[in-house]
Amino acid sequence: MSDAVIFYDPIFEEHKTGYGHPETPERLPVALKALEESGLLGQVEIKAPRDATVEDIELVHTSAYIAQVQSMAERGGGHLDMDTALSGDTYDAALKAAGALLDSVDGCLDGSFSRSFCLVRPPGHHALPMRGMGFCIFNNIAIAARYAISRKGLSRVMIVDWDAHHGNGTQDVFYDDASVLYVSLHQYPHYPGTGWVDEVGHKAGKGYTINFPFPNGTGEEHYYEAFERVILPAGRKFDPDFVMISAGYDSHEGDLLCSMRLNDRSYRRMTDYLTGLADETCDGRLLATLEGGYNLGAQARAIVQTVAGLAGVDIPGKDEGTQPTAYVDRANEVILEAARLQGLD
């Protein structure tokens, strides 16, 4: 068995979003089938996660908002906004989704494993302290980072968010905080409308937020350049105690909601960049958690490549040609400005 694990529980599929909603329960069984067919499930153990407690969720969210989610679920469901649906099992699923990341932190720190993939839903990176939005209920990765720092005694956590939508919730939680380096590569302009390159943090957190608001049609060569020119040097300078990935797959060229040009192998290479950084800085401690991704087949293949990277094994992927970036000058400008703001020009 490899030194990586997957966290999953069937309760995640009981979070029902309604007919035609893109964030569908089918995302997980399709991914599990692809992982099985790839042979990875013979090498990577699946673990059932614990439930996060209310006190854990309160590391990020207000008690009033948590009570609102619980009450709405107990009444059979409803909507936090036009995009964000709850069903009767959503509260339980959301507690267990956050719990998967807490188990990941604990397992990495106690030496049970060094890397994990949290195959969870509902996703989290849009959720703000006082409200959910963008399909997200509780901000799983923000809760995990706060838990690692406030409960486990770590000093610095790095979060890399490669979802095609900006993780406005995660940015908001840590915008004034120098203990978390938040990096987002996303399509701009696009939902939720945040994440411009000059959003770099505030007060003590100034310089600890890095945004790459790429134009639609950005391909893998510019993602790789962002990693090599800015993200990896900034990560080495930050010297994290833990690396976390908001692993959204809507930046895949086949996605239904976004217009980026990554392919299956792009996610393997980005995973390799971050496992290498984690090996350099924090004894390999790394977790990834599922965020977006709405083409079931493309997401499943990309998850296989991510988990293969975490496990350090090679899994043949779909033979895809590189899609060039549509707006090269604009993508270059984003990287150059992000580098300048980090003092890396």
CB atoms within 10 A of CB 267: 30
Asked whether 94 and 69 are in contact (CB, 8 A), the reply is yes
Q: Which amino acid is at 319?
A: D
The C-alpha atoms of residue 115 and residue 100 are separated, in whole angstroms, by 13
Residue 21: per-residue pLDDT = 97
Is 186 an active-site residue?
Answer: no
Of the candidates 102, 240, 229, 224, the one whose C-alpha atom is nearest the C-alpha of residue 162 is 224
Residue 297, pLDDT score:
97
Residue 219 token pair: 């391909």
**Which residues make Cβ contacts (< 8 Å) with residue 103, sequence separation at least 6?**
7, 47, 49, 50
Average pLDDT of each block of 10 consecutive residues along the chain (345 residues)? 92 97 98 97 97 98 98 98 98 99 98 98 98 98 99 98 98 98 98 98 98 98 98 98 98 96 96 98 98 98 98 86 93 98 95
DSSP 230: I
pLDDT of 318: 77
Q: Which of 15, 126, 186, 252 is catalytic?
A: 126
Distance CA 97, CA 124 (A): 9
57-60 contacts at long range (C-beta below 8 A, 24 or more positions apart): 57/95, 57/98, 57/138, 57/143, 59/143, 59/146, 59/147, 59/150, 59/151, 60/129, 60/138, 60/139, 60/142, 60/143, 60/146, 60/173
Tell me the average pLDDT of the chain.
97
